Amino acid sequence: MGVSIKDIDGLKGLITDEWSDWTAPVEVTQEMINTFADVTKDHQWIHVDIEKANAGPFGGPIAHGFLTLSLVSHFSEQHFPDIEGLAGVLNYGADRLRFLNPVPAGASVHAKSRIIDITEKATGILMKTEVAVHVVGDDKPAVLYESLGLMLG
């Protein structure tokens, strides 16, 4: 059984220096990259021009950083703690975001996370989570992100 949304001390007990287990991997296909480029209107050659990207600095096309970041919502579902009385979580923004390593088209990525802060607000409980998204098998993260979620009870 999880902690209650009403138990601030219990919620603060979720803060840890330890990373979670890895999520299930997600393959970042060229089709995903092309679709993301269409939606965002970001058709930079490093992402969508396969021939030019193959001759470029990464030896092939890479995913947009924001495409990789957008997978955090999917990964968070696998890591979110069991909190009793939780009515929902609103995206509150970010404190830190770094794109540290490219994600080649066709690579699979997975994530690990840890809760690093819990703060009471008038409108809910603000949870800060550090998320590291890695290409499977790569020690250096592709994305390092401090996510803010406002938990409502």
Give the residue with greater pLDDT, 135 vs 2: 135
Q: Model pTM? A: 0.94
Closest CA to 118 of 99, 92, 145: 92
Q: Which residues of 36-46 are buried (b: 16+ CB within 10 A; e: fewer)?
A: bbeeeeeeeeb
Query: Quick check: 94 pLDDT over 60?
Result: yes
Domains, the chain, in order of start with CATH, read 3-25+65-152 (3.10.129.10)
Q: What is the pLDDT of residues 28-63, one digit of tens each?
A: 999 999 999 999 999 999 999 999 999 999 999 999
